Amino acid sequence: MSSVKNVIQDSYKLMLLKDYLRKAIKEAGFSAVDIQKTPTGTRVGLHVTRPGIVIGRKGGGIRDLTKVLEKDFGLKSPQISVIEIPRPELEPSVMCNRMSQHLARGTAFRRAVMWTLQTIMEAGAMGVQITISGKLRGERSSFEKHSKGILPRAGYQAGIVVAEDIAHVETKMGLIGVRIRIARKEMYVPEFEMRTAKEMSARRAAAALEGKEIAVEELDESKIDHTKPRTESEEVAREEELIEKVETFEEVEEELK
């Protein structure tokens, strides 16, 4: 019974840690966290779109985050490494957060959905499905589901190829939920192709850790491209102008009448 309690307690702590990181390093485009216990402490891998924000000037951000993880979450001697996500548009958690910010800014939900679908498919996804629910139009709750491309729904392929995440956002109408499921081409295994367990595990590890791990001392501020958005909020603000050009189903119907 004690082992079961430990598993439940560890899962609960991990959930609290993810919720904290979503808010603490939101501007860095937080996606996921990997925790590995070692003889000397705890190795923590943070998957983000903008490592410089997490690291901070001269490693100040890492030091502050280390203290919080050790004091508030009970991690023994946490050793934080920052892993850059090369294609954030293929990460459901990143796209959920971006779409939530668009909805919070007052963007029409269908424009936000169409823009997110287009962005994910242009990044090279095999398929995507976005479900949005809540008080979308009036007092009565409803939901809409939009899909594009090929998205396995069940079986072995669905468990390997498809990644998903859920986010919630408060709007003037009420709470809205966003669920994004993305099928990634690099994880797809053709039918009847025989692979050993070692090859499959290596393939999954390469796809999951496709980003580049960045140490604190490797961050060179002189190499930062200041023409690109520095934070997730700046990225969302840049997208706002482009979203206005996206055609919704209602506008297409009006043109055809």
pLDDT at 192 over 60: no
CATH of domain 2-84: 3.30.300.20
Place 41 in a pLDDT band, splitting at 50, 70 and 90: confident
pLDDT on residue 127: 92
What would you measure as the largest C-alpha separation in the chain, in angstroms? 69
Adjacent-strand bridge partners of 166: 179
CATH of domain 88-198+229-243: 3.30.1140.32
pTM of the shown model: 0.74
pLDDT on residue 189: 64
Average pLDDT rounded to a whole number, residues 115-134:
92
Place 157 in a pLDDT band, splitting at 50, 70 and 90: confident
pLDDT on residue 247: 64
Average pLDDT rounded to a whole number, residues 70-96:
89
pLDDT on residue 220: 53
pLDDT on residue 217: 46
| Range with lowest mean pLDDT among 41-45, 182-186, 246-250 | 246-250
Give the integer Cα–Cα distance in Å for 31 and 49.
8
Q: Is the Cβ–Cβ distance between 66 and 201 less than 8 Å?
A: no
Which of 168 and 195 is assigned the larger pLDDT?
168
Distant-in-sequence contacts of 243-248, Cβ < 8 A, 24+ apart: 243/102, 243/107, 243/111, 243/112, 243/115, 244/111, 246/111, 246/114, 246/115, 246/118, 247/114, 248/108, 248/110, 248/111, 248/114
Average pLDDT rounded to a whole number, residues 215-222:
50
| Domain ranges within the chain, ordered by starting residue | 2-84, 88-198+229-243
Amino acid 6 reads N
Mean pLDDT score of the chain: 80
Place 208 in a pLDDT band, splitting at 50, 70 and 90: low
Establish whether domains 2-84 and 88-198+229-243 are of one fold: no
pLDDT on residue 131: 94
Place 190 in a pLDDT band, splitting at 50, 70 and 90: low
